[in-house]
Chains A and B, each alone.
Chain A
Amino acid sequence: MARPALFRIWRGNPEGGAFQDFKTEVDAGMVVLDAVHRIQAAQAPDLAVRWNCKAGKCGSCSAEINGMPRLMCMTRMGQLNLDMPVVIEPMHAFPLIRDLVTDVSWNFQVKKKIKKFKPRTPDAPDGTWRMRQADVDRVQEFRKCIECFLCQDVCHVLREHRKYDEFIGPRYFVYTAALEMHPLDTESRIAGLKNDHGVGYCNITTCCRQVCPESITITENAIIPLKERVVDEYFDPFRKLLRIIR
């Protein structure tokens, strides 16, 4: 059933900007991205918005809707209180390009700093490996990441404290966990996690897990296990002793 709704959308560029109000009709089943497209088509053809698949799989339409980082294409209008203006802002943790579009290239620079996958020597003469399905399943969850960077946006270490040089953020802890826990991998990234990638900055707010559109259990399955591996290496003399004895 169609009904009018008020959208308060951030318009601006790196120098500054302001919210602009748009009234439009919303229909049953619409998502926020549909409404933004309707506004773009009828009222603001110069409104910049990045999108691609409209199916929650490309991670392009990340924004902040009523203050929470979300994918515009996965936020149904029915989830929002339309008696109040729907506030749409670009992600706060990344430099603004225009309107709702941010420059997320910092993330791709971070990825380059993480040690690459280094498999053990092949298990079979034909150069192939053998892995147990259960071990593969454990890291498979991390491969669901669509790199929408909502977790990076909501993480207060980046968003509030701007530790861009010392902290790689939840997305790249997930990436590191996928490599570090891989049954074939032989590389160690523990020293890097502690010293350069700032896993110690994470204070387990679980905000990253709460905003993940792929429902990856970021905090419990990726970050905490990495923190525990750092503890194994640097803060647990008993375990170290046990390893020497063995």
Chain B
Amino acid sequence: MATPELLWKNGRFGQTSRRDAWWLPPASVLIGLSVFLVYANWAAWQNAHYTFGPYLSPFYSPELFGDSPHALFGPKPAWYPRFLPFSPALLILWIPGLFRLTCYYYRGAYYKAFWADPPACAVSEPRNVYLGERSLPLILQNSHRFFLRLSYPVWAFLAWDAIKSYRFSDGFGIGLGSLILTANVILLGGYVFGCHAFRHLIGGVYDRLAERPVRHKLYQCVSCLNGDHMKWAWSSLFSVGFADLYVRLCSMGIWTDWRIL
């Protein structure tokens, strides 16, 4: 099949007849993701101020090994290589990190924002070579569902942390931190369980889905969440960062946790 002969040649980077502020969405994504990446990396390497009372920062949960009472298997194990820096967050944060990195929504957003591929719809690109997600390295994006499967238990631990955040030393109570951790779990749940890969695995894979009523119902629920996947992605990104910041500042004594009940 012959390739069509085109009059229009690839333009200079950014060339377009568009009149709107096409650069604004990718610029916002660039700034938003960069701020989160810098903060999350800084917070993950601290190995301090990640708990406060019944609260555990979501960056450090589940705390497999560590010095806080939340640690599942006690302090840093003796077998842990001495040359490697230790932080409980580093043992776990790669799961949600890679889940977000390979997420269909984020892929589309960061290809535009960080790689200008394309910078925006109908805007010229800076390079002619294009491999897409067909060959290395981007063919690895097909591993998204593996990180989804690993994200279920991580989310379950965060849900358990949110429940535990209502159990203060003097009994049941509600602090502002409890509400922040609960909101975080809800937003993360909306993001994880509205994932495109989850939608496929739960029912999208079947052509005769209506013959499986439970899966069909679940597929409808997931589709409903999936329709706002971008909103869930951003709100949960913000909430997870803010929850860590809240616990950290309370732990450092800069903020005081407001005990509602």
Contact = CB atoms under 8 A, between A and B. Distances in A.
Interface in B1-29: 1, 3-8, 10, 16-20
A225 B204 contact: yes
B7 A14 contact: yes
B200 interface: yes
Interface residues of B, number: 52
Contacts of A103: 4
A69 B7 contact: no
Given A132-B208, A134-B209, A224-B196, A156 B133 contact: no
B117 interface: yes
Given A92-B8, A96-B7, A200-B133, A159 B108 contact: no
Nearest to A162: B3
B210 A132 contact: yes
Interface of A: 12, 14, 16-17, 64, 66-69, 81, 84, 87, 89, 92-96, 103, 106, 109-110, 113, 132-135, 138, 154, 156-157, 159-165, 180-183, 185, 198, 200-207, 210-211, 219-220, 224-225, 227-232, 234-236
B170 interface: no
A132 B10 CA distance: 47
Query: Do most interface residues of chain B lie in helix, strand or loop, or is the interface mixed?
Result: loop
A89 B208 CA distance: 44
B206 to A, nearest CB: 9
Contact of A135 (B5, B122, B144, B210): B210
A200 B200 contact: no
Given A135-B207, A135-B208, A205 B112 contact: yes
B121 A210 contact: yes
A138 B209 CA distance: 10
Interface string B206-231: 01111100001000000000110100
Contact of A67 (B122, B142, B201): B122
B235 interface: no
Nearest to B18: A67
A155 to B, nearest CB: 9
Interface stretch (B54-62, B84-92, B124-132, B249-257): B124-132
B4 A106 contact: yes
B108 A206 contact: yes
Contacts of B139: 200
Contact of B18 (A66, A180, A201, A232): A66
